[in-house]
C-alpha cells in the first residue's frame, strides 16, 4: 500500500507521541521529602533517581533533588520556579559531598525574599555544618528516610534536610559529620559557591 505524504506525516507523529508517552510512563516518580505553604507562597523538596547524564554530573544514574517554589505577587499574579540538581551513582557515598539544590522567592513578592534548600547525603551523615560569610556557623540535622521508601524509589538508604529561610542562603563551607561528629567530608573554605556565579556548586579540588 502506498502512503500519501499526509498519511506518512500522521503515522510519524503517532510514533513520536507513543515513544514520548512510553518514556514518561517509565520515568520514576518524584517522592516528596518535605513541603510548606503560606498565604502567598508554597514550596516542596522532592527526590527521585536520575537518568544518567543530567545535571552538572555525568555518569551512571544517581539521585536528583528538586526544589519547587510558588509565590503570588498580586491577586491574579502567580509565579513558579523549579530547580533540579542531579548527581552520579556515587553521589551518596560517605566520602562524597551532599547533593544540594536551592530555590528562591524574589524580594518583590509580598512576603519578601526567601531561600528554600533541599539536601541529601549518605546514611552515615548525621549532621552538616554550614559556615556562612563572616564565620557564622550553623549545624543542621539530617533526617532519615524509611528503608522501604528508599527501596521503592530505587536509591538505597539516604538522609535529607529540607528547609526555608528568609533572605539569601549562601554557604562558604559545608562539612559532613558522622557519628561522634567525625568529619566525613569537607568542602574547604570557599569550596562551595553560590550567588552571582550562577547555580550553587562545589568548586573542583586541586589534585594531590
- Where in the sequence is the domain holding 56, given as residue range(s)? 29-202
Q: What is the pTM assigned to this prediction?
A: 0.73
In a domain, 92, yes or no: yes
136: number of CA atoms within 13 Å, CB side?
A: 6
92 contacts 62 by C-beta, under 8 angstroms: yes
How many beta carbons lie within 10 A of that of residue 53, not counting itself?
Answer: 12
Nearest-5° angle of CA 122, CA 144, CA 164?
Answer: 95
Interatomic CA distance for residues 46 and 162, integer angstroms: 9
∠35-40-44 over CA atoms, to 5°? 15
Q: Which residues contact 197 (CB under 8 A, 6 or more apart)?
A: none
Is residue 21 in some structural domain? no
Say if 158 falls within a structural domain: yes
Mean pLDDT lowest among 67-76, 173-182, 188-197: 188-197
Q: What is the pLDDT of residue 208?
A: 41
Structurally, how many domains does the chain consist of?
1
Query: Cα-flanking dihedrals φ and ψ of residue 140, to 5°?
Result: -110, 145
**pLDDT tens per residue, range 27-75:** 678 889 999 998 888 999 999 886 543 333 444 457 899 999 998 877 7
Amino acid at each position: 500500500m502506498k502512503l500519501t505524504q499526509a498519511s506518512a506525516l500522521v503515522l510519524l507523529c503517532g510514533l513520536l507521541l507513543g515513544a514520548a508517552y512510553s518514556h514518561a510512563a517509565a520515568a520514576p516518580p518524584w517522592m516528596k521529602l518535605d513541603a510548606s505553604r503560606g498565604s502567598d507562597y508554597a514550596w516542596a523538596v522532592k527526590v527521585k533517581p536520575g537518568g544518567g547524564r543530567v545535571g552538572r554530573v555525568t555518569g551512571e544514574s544517581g539521585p536528583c533533588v528538586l526544589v519547587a517554589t510558588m509565590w503570588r505577587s498580586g491577586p491574579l499574579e502567580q509565579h513558579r520556579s523549579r530547580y533540579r540538581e542531579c548527581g552520579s551513582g556515587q553521589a551518596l557515598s560517605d566520602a562524597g559531598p551532599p547533593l544540594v539544590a536551592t530555590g528562591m522567592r524574589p524580594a518583590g513578592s509580598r512576603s519578601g525574599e526567601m531561600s528554600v534548600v533541599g539536601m541529601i547525603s549518605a546514611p552515615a551523615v548525621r549532621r552538616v555544618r554550614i559556615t556562612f560569610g563572616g564565620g557564622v556557623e550553623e549545624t543542621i540535622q539530617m533526617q532519615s528516610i524509611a528503608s522501604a521508601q528508599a527501596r521503592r524509589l530505587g536509591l538505597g538508604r539516604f538522609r535529607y534536610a529540607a528547609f526555608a529561610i528568609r533572605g539569601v542562603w549562601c554557604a562558604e563551607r559545608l562539612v559532613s559529620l558522622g557519628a561522634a561528629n567525625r568529619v566525613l567530608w569537607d568542602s574547604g573554605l570557599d569550596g562551595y559557591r553560590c550567588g552571582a556565579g550562577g547555580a550553587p556548586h562545589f568548586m573542583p579540588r586541586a589534585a594531590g
